[in-house]
């Protein structure tokens, strides 16, 4: 659930800026693809560095991203994302192909197709409608046991993994975020009141029983949507993809659709689809989980000016959902 914005590629956590990219990473990529790899330029955008446009000898340009090894399973998580990409591309999902994945002693890297398109500067009704159609391609396509649905329930309810009745495959980043979210109430009385309200709407909801769909987990961030003349040509930032309910991605779109009154109508259609998929209780859990994440990010980063906006939007989302349930 990390929020990053890039051009023509999927970002990774804690990317290494190209000027700091170790030579051994480029050498490892070249060895993997059996061709010379030449750095072209750093790609713009994003809050994490590390996306570099490269030329692979004898092929078109590609995008290389490298991140310092964050934990022992970092490469396994990247390989999981690669499998999700291959699975979904085989079903018409518009995400760039991953050409290679690998690791050195210090970094994990991925090489993918370069998409010559611009990231969307903002969501529009047309883009949201297109994304809703793309999300439907995720139906029944869960292929990896990386369950965002159960994780959202744990975040919303404050429950530990064992409370779900099984031992889920929770990634280190998910565990860290969940622990950080558990301490949000101490930030301010306004945040505490919102957290209490979010916990209350989720308190009696049982854990989800299945995770049938593929979940992108950051499809709604405009910079992760690449467009040409207003048409979506690719969605990126798929490194955190897994399984769950596609309503997770719809709920994320709802959050971003509060930014512009022109999106009010399409936001209503999003709510309707979410309620059709997971019902009122499920919608409450997904709204609570996403709001808690949106609180955690600025509080963690010390962006105190953003927190009141998140609090206001969180209450607005709950009010709107209450009127529809």
Q: From CA 50, how far away is CA 64, in angstroms rounded?
A: 8
Cβ atoms of 159 and 274 within 8 Å: the answer is no
Q: Which residues contact 186 (CB under 8 A, 6 or more apart)?
A: 192
The angle at the Cα of 238, spanning 214 to 69, to the nearest 5 degrees, equals: 120
Cβ atoms < 10 Å from Cβ of 161: 18
Q: How far is CA 144 from the centre of its chain?
A: 15
Q: From CA 278, how far away is CA 147, in angstroms rounded?
A: 15
Beta bridge partners of 213: 244
Chain position carrying tokens 């000016």: 305
pLDDT for 243 equals: 96
pLDDT for 169 equals: 66
pLDDT for 171 equals: 80
The full set of domains in the chain, from first to last, is 18-116 (3.30.200.20), 119-324 (3.90.1200.10)
User: Tens-of-pLDDT digits for all 325 residues of the chain?
Assistant: 333 333 333 333 344 454 567 899 999 999 999 999 999 888 754 444 467 899 999 888 999 989 899 888 899 999 999 999 999 999 999 999 999 999 999 999 999 999 999 889 899 999 999 999 999 999 999 999 899 999 999 999 998 776 544 445 678 888 889 999 999 999 999 999 999 999 999 999 999 988 999 999 988 788 889 999 999 999 988 989 999 999 999 999 999 999 999 999 999 999 999 999 999 999 999 999 999 999 999 999 999 999 999 999 999 999 999 999 8
pTM: 0.88
């Amino acid at each position: 659930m990390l929020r990053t914005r890039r051009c023509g590629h999927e970002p990774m956590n804690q990317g290494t800026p190209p000027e700091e990219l170790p030579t051994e990473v480029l050498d490892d990529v070249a060895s993997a693809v059996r061709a010379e790899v030449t750095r072209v330029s750093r790609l713009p955008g994003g809050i994490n560095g590390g996306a570099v446009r490269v030329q692979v000898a004898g092929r078109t340009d590609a995008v290389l991203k490298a991140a310092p090894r964050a934990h022992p399973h970092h490469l396994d998580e990247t390989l999981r994302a690669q499998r999700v990409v291959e699975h979904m591309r085989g079903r018409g999902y518009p995400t760039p192909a991953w050409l290679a994945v690998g690791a050195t002693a210090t970094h994990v890297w991925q090489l993918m197709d370069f998409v010559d398109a611009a990231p969307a500067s903002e969501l529009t009704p047309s883009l949201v409608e297109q994304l809703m159609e793309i999300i439907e391609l995720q139906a029944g396509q869960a292929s990896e046991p990386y369950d965002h649905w159960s994780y959202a329930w744990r975040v919303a309810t404050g429950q530990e993994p064992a409370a779900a009745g099984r031992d889920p495959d929770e990634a280190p980043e998910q565990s860290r975020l969940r622990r950080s979210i558990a301490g949000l109430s101490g930030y301010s009385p306004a945040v505490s009141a919102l957290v209490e309200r979010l916990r209350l709407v989720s308190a009696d909801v049982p854990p989800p029983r299945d995770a049938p769909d593929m979940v992108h987990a950051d499809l709604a961030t405009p910079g992760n949507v690449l467009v040409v003349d207003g048409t979506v040509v690719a969605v990126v930032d798929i490194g955190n993809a897994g399984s769950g309910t596609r309503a997770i991605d719809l709920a994320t779109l709802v959050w971003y659709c509060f930014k512009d009154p022109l999106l009010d109508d399409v936001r209503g259609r999003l709510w309707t689809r979410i309620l059709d998929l997971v019902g009122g209780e499920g919608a409450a859990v997904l709204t609570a989980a996403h709001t808690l994440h949106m609180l955690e990010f600025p509080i963690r980063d010390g962006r105190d000016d953003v927190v009141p906006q998140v609090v206001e939007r969180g209450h607005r989302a709950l009010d709107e959902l209450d009127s529809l349930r």
